[in-house]
Amino acid sequence: MAEHEREREHVKVAVIGTGFGGLGAAVRLRREGITDFVVLERAGAVGGTWRDNSYPGCACDVPSHLYSFSFAPNPEWPRTFSGQEHIWKYLEHVADTFGLRPHIRFNSEVKQMRWDNDALHWEIDTSAGSITAEVVVSATGPLSDPKVPDIEGLDGFEGKVFHSARWDHDYDLRGKRVAMIGTGASAIQIVPAIQAEVERMTLFQRTPPWVMPRADRPISGAERWLHRQLPFTTSARRGLLWGIRELQVQAFTKRPNELGLVESIAKRNMKRAIKDPALRDKLTPSYRIGCKRILLSNTYYPALAQPNVDVVASGLKEVRGNTLVASDGTETEVDAIIFGTGFHVTDMPIAERVIGADGRTLAETWTGGMNSLRGATAAGFPNWMTIIGPNTGLGNSSMILMIESQLNYMADYLRQVDVLGGRAALDARPTAVQGWNDRVQERMKRTVWNTGGCNSWYLDENGRNTTIWPGTTTEFRAATRRVDLAEYDVLRPAAQANRAGRPAEKVEADA
């Protein structure tokens, strides 16, 4: 072992990210009695999604009592769908309450991690130094790295340009001609929040979203008092919210035609606010509701009906000076462009930075699309797991439910490695990964995400749905309750298995 390696800090577990996934993992590690871990975070504060998305109008679209940890209920949620600042504060509170801060290394961006087959550990290079870890838990987020389309002439635009997830609060939008590019979940929150202050708003819409009414209201002082005094009422509220969403899943996964009724509610939501038939035509989707994420808003359509708003039913194709040219030829002069164009989801950026046992990156092994075992581990990447990995996303419920299931899996994984004794690592068997993905893709065939007639960010460039879980959260919880050792090869250090120094040896698990 080289001298510099001996000096490198070594930990049992390195977690990456301080969003719901990373903080949740850290809490769970402590609860499992593991304190030899660090949490590496590229930013200077915790919060992930809820630190980075500070755009006007930013809020969750799953009710707060469900969009929070089951082990950290918050009786103080101010609204049924709370705003970004409250969710961010909640995550700060979680970090403090569970004593996570001493573990967190801020401003430590993971640049690369390499699996060392002899030492059976990960070598991790960060912007703040190097470290080795027996296990890596990667919680870098599915919607963490903003995606800006490659638009001809954008570099020559003289006005202001930013992405919704990197809002420039120093830029004063008042009196400006603003282009909003995209009609996803962020865009439909931003448009009504800034429409009244800008001089002119032009919305570039490639595909209209389905927008349902939003049952948002302040949570009264009496309700909050009740939740404080009788904590079971918070759990009961959460349980009800969860149960309703769980019952809806069948319509998404097995009987998309039943969603026609939901479409009629969304159409009524539009008709109430949009009186102009031509505008209504532009805003009416031509695909089955649910195929893309169903959006919730009571203010989006009323904002679009205002005289200072134009909807261009076409994507942005080119920028010429300060003029934006849409694919249908429409030209619009603007002072600022806001991209609400989403994130790198199916091309998870961290995958390019993980180098596995055979020297290839995870991205290289995923050229045919992301795949994993139970949304967590990948063949050839021993002792590496991801939170919110492939096919763990939800179309209609809280991602925190999926994260907590993955934390169960993580905890059992670490227990299994301990039980094996000595130095050991687990490597997902390719056949197990294949089997899991075949089952997921088989179930996917009937879902609204694959059959609904849309092209969404759930699908990768090959048209394969590698993001969504095609079942209930209960099914996913059951599938991730325990690690099945039959799905893994057990690796032992080469030195232990063979003093001649052959690479780590695969050993049949006893289980």
Ligand X SMILES: Cc1cc2nc3c(=O)[nH]c(=O)nc-3n(C[C@H](O)[C@H](O)[C@H](O)COP(=O)(O)OP(=O)(O)OC[C@H]3O[C@@H](n4cnc5c(N)ncnc54)[C@H](O)[C@@H]3O)c2cc1C
Residues near 237 by Cβ (< 8 Å), separated by ≥ 6? 65, 227
Q: How far is the CB of 186 from ligand X (least distance, A)?
A: 5
Least distance CB 39 / ligand X (angstroms): 9
Are 261 and 416 within 8 A, CB to CB?
A: no
Pick between residue 215 and residue 230 the one whose CB is nearest to ligand X. 215
Looking at the Cβ atoms of 80 and 205, the one nearer to ligand X is: 80
Q: What is the dihedral of CA 223, 225, 226, 230, to 10 degrees?
A: 150
Shortest distance in whole angstroms from residue 430 CB to ligand X = 26
User: To 5 degrees, how large is the angle CA 192–CA 197–CA 202?
Assistant: 60
Residues 6+ apart with CB under 8 A from 247: none
Residue 54 or 314 with smaller CB distance to ligand X: 54
**Least gap, CB of 184 to ligand X (angstroms):** 9
Closest to ligand X by CB, 407 or 426: 407
- Sheet with 309-312: strands ordered across: 160-163, 336-339, 177-181, 200-204, 309-312
Q: Which two tokens stand for residue 335?
A: 């002072």
Q: What gap in Å lies between CA 259 and CA 49, rounded to an integer? A: 30
Residue-wise DSSP of 40-53: E-SSSSS-THHHH-
The CB-of-194 to ligand X minimum distance in angstroms stands at 15
Q: State the nearest-atom distance from the C-beta of 465 to ligand X, in Å.
A: 17
Least separation in angstroms between CB 394 and ligand X: 6
β-strand 110-116 against 354-355: which pairing, if any? parallel
CB nearer to ligand X: pick between 84 and 416: 84
DSSP state of 271: H
Q: Where does this chain bind ligand X (CB under 6 A)?
A: 16-22, 40-43, 48-49, 53, 58, 60-62, 67, 109-110, 139-144, 186, 350, 387-388, 398-399
- Please report how close the Cβ of residue 332 comes to ligand X at its closest, in angstroms: 26
Q: Could you give the CA distance from residue 467 to residue 488 in angstroms, rounded to a whole number?
A: 23
Residue 137 CB contacts under 8 Å (≥ 6 apart), including other chains: 13, 14, 15, 16, 22, 25, 385, 386, 387, 410
Question: Positive or negative CA dihedral for 285, 291, 292, 297?
Answer: positive
Name residue 305's amino acid: A
Indicate the SS3 state at residue 419: helix
Q: Is 307 helix (H, G, I), strand (E, B) or coil?
A: coil
Nearest residue (CB) to ligand X, 38 versus 273: 38
DSSP for 215-270, please give it.
Answer: ---BPPHHHHHHHHH-HHHHHHHHHHHHHHHHHHHHHHHT-GGGGHHHHHHHHHHH
- Residue 214 or 360: the one with the smaller Cβ distance to ligand X is 214
**Coil, helix or strand at residue 318:** strand
Q: Between residues 416 and 456, which has the closer beta carbon with respect to ligand X?
A: 456
Would you say 66 or 324 has its CB closer to ligand X? 66
Q: How far is the CB of 46 from ligand X (least distance, A)?
A: 7
CB of 462 to ligand X, least distance (A): 23
Is the Cβ of residue 353 or residue 464 nearer to ligand X in the bound state? 353
Minimum Å gap between C-beta 74 and ligand X is 15
In whole angstroms, the minimum distance from the beta carbon of 82 to ligand X comes to: 10
By beta-carbon proximity to ligand X, the closer residue of 49 and 195 is 49
Q: Which is nearer to ligand X, 211 or 388 (CB)?
A: 388
Cβ of 380: how many Cβ atoms within 10 Å? Answer: 17
Residues 344-361: b if buried by 16+ CB within 10 A, e if exposed: bbbbbebbebbbbbeeeb
